[in-house]
Chain A
Amino acid sequence: MADPNSLASYFDFSQVDWQALWTATGETVWMTLFSVVFVFIFGIILGLLLYETTGKHSAGAFILNKITAILVNVFRSIPFIILIVLLIPITKQITGTIIGPRAAMPSLIISAAPFYARMVEIGFHEVDAGVIEAAEAMGASKLQVMWKVLLPESLPAIISGITVTGISLIGYTAMAGVIGAGGLGNLAYQDGFQANQNAVTLTSTVVILIIVFIFQAIGDFTVRKIDKRSVA
């Protein structure tokens, strides 16, 4: 067995349990995708709420906007590793467990959704006000404006936003792994760091990087495909 302090130890791949790596990769991908779906849904709803209540004169809208803004800012600001610990009782209530990929979901979603909501809100604000006015002049209802104009016209921002959020979620899953959520972070920490097997840490890192690159590539490709704002 290679000396754990030598550089050569990084390349002693006999340490790597490929089956465990495969399982951990599956867990990381599962956690990421599942949380991305929820973050996408909650983020858009929150983003719409922020957008619709900004700059309105009615007291209801003002209060709703302030409450949403405060919640969004607070949860966006709590460091993830603290949030996950803070949410343990709530996690237990919702998922019935505090260990494994499922237990990581509430904190992953709660930390990322507000962040994404802000990006969605910015995307909505970038939609040409004239286009919204045109839709209103056609007799569109508020819901129709959202569904037929606001969402399609801000789609590139929404997609690139979820790509960025998804990538930070991959990072969060690794952190969640350290306190027992499974996945590649867990593998790198327990089998790699604690068991002095540098090759496991390196392999886990490479796999995480590959996941990130694939995610980024899919996101970029989709944005290019749907963005018709400039001549192709």
Chain B
Amino acid sequence: MIEFKDVSKIYHTRQNTITAVDKVSLKIGNGEIFGIVGYSGAGKSTLVRMINSLEPPTSGQVLIDDVDMTQLRGKALRQTRQEIGMIFQHFNLLWSRTVRQNIELPLELKGVSKVQRAQKAAELIDLVGLDGREDAYPSELSGGQKQRVGVARALANDPKILLCDEATSALDPATTEEVLELLLKINRKLNITMVVITHEMHVVRKICQNMAVMDSGRIVEQGSVLDIFRYPQAALTKEFVQEEVNPETEDTEVILDELLAKVPDGLILKLTFHGEQAKLPIISEMLKKMPEVQLNIIEGNIHQTQGGPLGNLYLQLRGNSELLEQAVAYLKQMRVDMEVIRSGRSK
């Protein structure tokens, strides 16, 4: 388990002092993929570098399985770092080494024999799907392939933790998917704890179970990805969730306005489905029970998260007020999260 206990990082420049990380406390369980989201400058890079002590905190403790990283020095620190892999936004491969030699570097540093190094590198090349490219130089690889080398290199020492510093931010969407799939596969296969920092909610939604949102060095919100997507609290979180879940919100609102203008009656509802609910035919059941209700679907979407599917549906219901009340009651009975966006006039 990784545990931050009241950690702060303060930089002093000639003019002023900058608090990059401000009294952060956080627990990350073994084997989970934990996402830290925030805009650039929020302090997430500094926070993740405290885990391997590249950026030791000014105050507070960083515990990994109850070992305080802030107390480690010299050889003990270097040995602990070997158990923590790290991948980077710009891959940080050595251009002077081939794929195989890059992957072998951490093993060379550790003093592993040549035969064992070659064997381990071959396994990892296979794991990340780079067979046939082992003798290529980084300059001959695509971005996605470079990050695969980065992943393989980070796994060379069989780490128990993998730190991902904006690992997909320099990649195009298709390649991002591939790398995220690879990270998920590795997490499941090797049960490595992963700490993923990113400014893309998409990344968190796709691979993380738990997450934290950072702003100006502070954690403004943390919890399970599903909960945060469903009930974001802080303004910043809402902004991030909105961007990811519903990038067309503004369009939807325009459509809603138009609809209400055209048909100034009926009820506009936003339904949120999650988990097993998203798979049930709740709406069609409702229509079977109340065939007089007129239903118009304005917009809908569904996303896969590590906590299960999560869906939003915007509906316009028309009918007499009694019918509409019944429909709402039915949806409530089915435990659908419901928000009345506009309760237009009823006939």
Contact = CB atoms under 8 A, between A and B. Distances in A.
B60 to A, nearest CB: 21
Given A144-B109, A148-B109, A231-B140, A137 B81 contact: yes
B78 A137 contact: no
B86 interface: yes
A133 interface: yes
Contacts of B137: 228
Contacts of B110: 139
Interface string A217-232: 0000000001011110
Most buried by B among A128, A133, A135, A228: A228
B17 interface: no
Interface in A118-139: 128, 130-131, 133-139
A130 B82 contact: no
A152 B98 CA distance: 12
Contacts of A141: 78
Nearest to B83: A139
Interface residues of A, number: 23
B76 to A, nearest CB: 10
Most buried by A among B84, B109, B138: B109
Chain A residues touching B, majority SS:
helix
Contacts of B78: 139-141
Interface residues on B, range: 20 to 34
A153 interface: yes
Given A139-B79, A139-B82, A228-B139, A152 B52 contact: no
A94 to B, nearest CB: 37
Given A139-B78, A139-B79, A152 B109 contact: no
B47 to A, nearest CB: 15
Contact of A131 (B54, B93, B109): B93
B54 A152 contact: no
Contact of B86 (A137, A149, A230): A137
A129 to B, nearest CB: 9
Given A130-B90, A134-B88, A139-B110, A230 B139 contact: yes
B231 interface: no
A138 B79 CA distance: 9
Given A130-B92, A153-B94, A137 B109 contact: no
A155 interface: yes
Interface of A: 128, 130-131, 133-141, 144, 148-149, 152-153, 155, 226, 228-231
Given A139-B110, A153-B96, 14 more contacts: A128-B90, A131-B93, A133-B88, A134-B86, A138-B157, A139-B78, A139-B81, A139-B82, A139-B106, A148-B109, A153-B95, A228-B96, A229-B139, A231-B140
25 contacts: A128-B92, A131-B93, A133-B54, A134-B93, A135-B105, A136-B54, A136-B81, A137-B52, A137-B54, A137-B81, A137-B84, A137-B163, A138-B81, A138-B82, A138-B86, A139-B78, A139-B79, A139-B82, A148-B105, A148-B108, A226-B96, A228-B138, A228-B139, A229-B95, A229-B139
